[in-house]
Amino acid sequence: MSSTASSVFADETLLFEPATPIANAVPLIFAFPNEYSVGITSLGFQIVWATLAARSDLQVSRLFTDIAEPLPRQPELLGFSLSWELDYVNILAMLEQLGIPLRSRDRGDEHPLVFGGGPTLTANPEPFADFFDVILVGDGEVLLDAFIDAYQPLRDRPRAEKLRQLAQVPGLYIPALYEPIYEAADGAIATIQPIDNDIPVQIEKQTYRGNVLSASTVVTPRAAWESIYMVEVVRSCPEMCRFCLASYLTLPFRTASLEESLQPAIARGLTATQRIGLLGASVTQHPEFPALLDWLGQPEFTDVRLSVASVRTNTVTEKFASILAQRGTKSLTIAVESGSERLRQVINKKLAQAEITEAAVNAKAGGLQGLKLYGMAGVPTETEDDLLATAEMLKGLKKAAPGLRLSYGCSTFVPKAQTPFQWQGVSPKAEKRLQFLQKQLRPQGIEFRPESYSWSVIQALISRGDRRLSSLLERVRHYGESLGSYRRAFKELKGTLPPLDFYVFQDWEPEAPLPWQHLRGPLPVETLRKHRQQAFAIAAAGVGSK
């Protein structure tokens, strides 16, 4: 281990007790396909690492793109936590650096089993399936120990036998044991089936249902969020916006027990740092959040810096804003999605205009300096009137809370697997609609922060992709991350897979087979179709598209 790596790891304060590996412990590398500062800030990575490192039957070494702990010469297992789609490039580079063939089919008994997990791989692993031997579909709290326990008696077996045995464990997806069949080489998928009757037809996502949620296992000044201790307050979101992967993929909505989980976790974190982050898709919808807020408002927490992830608009009281301001928070983040009441109804965003205004007024009155709002352009059924309503909403907030710094982060709608809008394509009008909002808002002194339209197109490609994309992804990593690079690769592979437009812009028939249909998420596909139909029924009853 280099002196630089030694100093980085020496700065860590561990909040769990790593086990001392036994003599015949399994050598395992757990990797994050990005730099240390990014990976160590991922709560998911921290939890998986701590779970593995707490087992005495494993010898765990961490690997990042810039530094690593001492690595075993012959690892038996190599795991990746994939949080961001384009990090696949680093996964392939790390495999090459370790001398491991990129594709599962090219690996022999001398190579480690390559496994992966995280929301990207749980929602739709197919574009990356050829690169993994094992994919963990679901929550690590349920899957990790089951995976290692199943692997232990198989250590000396041939690779093929290991994979067949692991396929029997609920939530473990072995891509090599499933065969996709297409209508044509460049056509839609027809079906995906196990290679024989001994392999499960469907893999069901494994869900942790306890009320003790995650909290940081390490605190370090080297993290992207310096010296932060993260506490998961809620998991999933009860709102169930029709496009939202964070809600649908992680159902049901679970809340951490205030006395059994949240208070002890925060107290443990305060032994290492004075910076606390409360995480979750909708933190303030925790039923005991007011009590948590009162507890954190006590004088003993005066020196604590507190930050809260995206909050529910109607929970932003002046008291809430005041406590955050006193604890070092300067701004709040709220996802409003659109300023149009009609469009919010279509996507199931249960939010009234008056609540948004009141949140801004209360944020200002409580001493906060800014309000960050997030929305989307190109949402299914969106009209020009909806865009105008968004611009008018933001202008109204500026008048209602003068002096409050407003920013509007806007992304392009991207269809996500396992959600009701997975059948809808990206709107080709979205890029112009981002430009329209920019012209409306910036002259008003409202900061407008659009997400890259090109990145949204790439994200949609990977979100709705099938296994044929593996060849394309291998090529693109050498061309660069621009949309032009992807278009170039599609031209070179013409005839072997559908065009870019099919994956990204085309609306798919709700009854058509999906590349991930063999993976069962929290809700059956019939329920997702029903939620989609409800959205379009609301749209049909209201304003027509322009």
Q: Which tokens in the block code for residue 332? A: 């709040």
Question: 70 falls in which pLDDT band (50, 70, 90)?
Answer: very high
Q: Which residues pair with 116 in a beta bridge?
A: 80, 135
* Residue 40: per-residue pLDDT: 97
- My answer on whether 159 and 275 are in the same domain is no
Residue at 487 is within a domain: no
- My answer on whether 278 and 164 are in the same domain is no
Domain harbouring 452, CATH code: 3.80.30.20
- My answer on whether 378 and 322 are in the same domain is yes
* Residue 1: per-residue pLDDT: 67
- My answer on whether 184 and 265 are in the same domain is no
The arithmetic mean of pLDDT across residues 341-365, rounded, is 95
Residue 162: pLDDT over 90: yes
- For residue 392, the one-letter residue type is E
* Residue 545: per-residue pLDDT: 38
The residue assigned the tokens 């013409």 is: 494
What secondary structure, in 3-state letters, does 92-146 show? Answer: HHHHHHCCCCCCHHHCCCCCCEEEEECHHHHHCCHHHHHHCCEEECECHHHHHHH
Question: 546 falls in which pLDDT band (50, 70, 90)?
Answer: very low
- My answer on whether 18 and 76 are in the same domain is yes
Question: How many structural domains are present in the chain?
Answer: 2
Rounded-to-5 percentages of helix, strand, coil across the chain? 40, 15, 40
Given 144, 169, 204, the domain boundary residue is 204
Strand stretches in 445-514, DSSP E: 447-450
Residue at 84 is within a domain: yes
The string of pLDDT tens digits covering residues 71-121 is 999 999 999 999 888 899 999 999 999 999 999 999 999 999 999 999 999
Contact 245, 78 (CB under 8 A): no
| Contacts made by residues 93-101, CB under 8 angstroms, sequence distance 24+ | 93/65, 93/477, 94/31, 94/33, 94/63, 94/65, 95/131, 98/29, 98/71
Residue at 491 is within a domain: no
The arithmetic mean of pLDDT across residues 528-541, rounded, is 96
Residue 537: pLDDT over 80: yes
Contact 504, 419 (CB under 8 A): no
* Residue 480: per-residue pLDDT: 85
Residue 340: pLDDT over 80: yes
Residue at 113 is within a domain: yes
- My answer on whether 442 and 335 are in the same domain is yes
Residue at 469 is within a domain: no
The string of pLDDT tens digits covering residues 365-397 is 999 999 999 999 999 999 999 999 999 999 999
Residue 20: pLDDT over 50: yes
Reduced to 3 states (helix: H, G, I; strand: E, B; else coil), residue 515 is coil
Residue at 484 is within a domain: no
Q: Which residues pair with 303 in a beta bridge?
A: none
Question: 4 falls in which pLDDT band (50, 70, 90)?
Answer: confident
- Judged by average pLDDT, the poorest of 200-209, 291-300, 408-417 is 291-300
> Rounded to two decimals, what is the model's pTM?
0.95
Residue at 489 is within a domain: no
- My answer on whether 264 and 158 are in the same domain is no
Contact 85, 462 (CB under 8 A): yes
- My answer on whether 117 and 169 are in the same domain is yes
Per DSSP, helices labelled H in 263-383 are 263-269, 289-296, 318-326, 341-347, 353-365
Percent of all residues in the chain with a pLDDT value above 90, rounded to a whole number? 92
| Contacts made by residues 429-434, CB under 8 angstroms, sequence distance 24+ | 429/378, 430/377, 430/378, 430/456, 433/377, 433/378, 433/382, 433/387, 434/377, 434/410
Residue at 477 is within a domain: no
Given 171, 189, 204, the domain boundary residue is 204
- My answer on whether 164 and 276 are in the same domain is no
Please tell me the total number of residues recorded for the chain in this structure: 546
Residue 544: pLDDT over 50: no
Q: Which residues pair with 307 in a beta bridge?
A: 277
- My answer on whether 267 and 174 are in the same domain is no
Domain that holds residue 410: 227-464+508-541
Task: Give yes or no for a cis peptide into 72 (omega within 30° of 0).
Answer: no
- My answer on whether 182 and 294 are in the same domain is no
- My answer on whether 263 and 316 are in the same domain is yes
